[in-house]
Structure 1
Amino acid sequence: MMKYFFSICITIVLMTNTVFAQEKAITHKVEKGETIVQIALKYNVTPFDIYQLNPDVQNGLKPNSVLLIPSKSTNKVTSLPAKVNAKAITHLVTPKETLYGIEKQYGISDDELKKANPFLENDGLKIGQTLVIPVKNKTVNTAVAAVAVAQEKVIYHDVLPKETKYSISRKYGITIAELEKRNPEIVTGLPIGYRLIIKGSVPKAAKVLEQLEVKKEDAIQKPLKEKTEIVYTTYEVQPKETLYSLSKTFGLTQEEFIALNPELKDGVEIGMILKVPSKMSALQEDKKEYTALSKKISLGKRKKMVLLLPFNIARVEGDTINSTSNRLKKDKFLNMTLDFYAGALMAIDSAKVLGLPIDVEIYDSEETKNGSNVAAIIRNNNLSTANALIGPFYQSNAETAAQLLSERNIPVISPLSKDVGNPFNNLYQTIPANEVIKNAMFDYMRAHNGNIMAVVDRKKESIVKYIKEYQKDVPFVAFKENGSVSTESLKSMLVKDRMNYVVMETGNTWMIKTTISAMVSSMSGYQVQLVILESNETLDTDEIKFLNLTKLKLMYPSVTRDNDSAEAAIFDKEFRKINNIYPSDFATRGFDVTFDTMMRLVQDKTFEETVNAAATKQVENKFEYYKKPDGGYTNKGVFIMYYDTDLTLKEAN
Structure 2
Amino acid sequence: MIKKILFLSGLFLGFSAFAQRTHVVVKGDNPYNISKKYGISLDQLYKLNPQAKGTLALGEVLKIDNSTNKNIEKEKVSSSKTLGKIVLQPKQTIYGITKQYHITEAELRALNPDLDNHMKIGDEVIIPSNLISKFGGNQPIAKTETPENVVTTPLFNSKDVYTIESKDNYYKISKKFNLTQKELFALNPGLEQKGLQPGEQIIIKGIEKDSPKTDTNKEIKTVKVDEEKATNNVQISSSNPSNTDDYVTYTVQSHDTVFGILNKFGISLDQLISLNPSLSEGLKAGMVLKIKKLQRGYEKKSGDALNVVLMLPFGFDTNDTKYRNLSLDFLTGAKLAIERNVKSGQKLDIKIIDAGNEKSFKNSLTQINPDNTDLIIGPFFKSSVLEVLNFVKKQNIPVVAPFANSEDLYDYGNLIIIETKDNIYADRIIKEVKDVYSDQKIYIVSDSDKTQSNYIKTNLEKNLKTSNIVIVNSSSDIVAEKNMMTGQSAPIIAILASNDENEGAKFASKMIEISKEVSGNKAFSMYYNAAFEKNIDELSQVNLVYLMDRKIDTDGTFEKEILEDYKQKYCKSPSKYSVIGFDVMNDILSRENKKGEIFKQIDKVQTQLATKFEFVRTKPNGAYQNTGYRVVRLIP
Instruction: Compute the TM-score of the two structures, normalised by the length of structure 2.
Output: 0.45
Which of 1 and 2 has greater Rg? 1
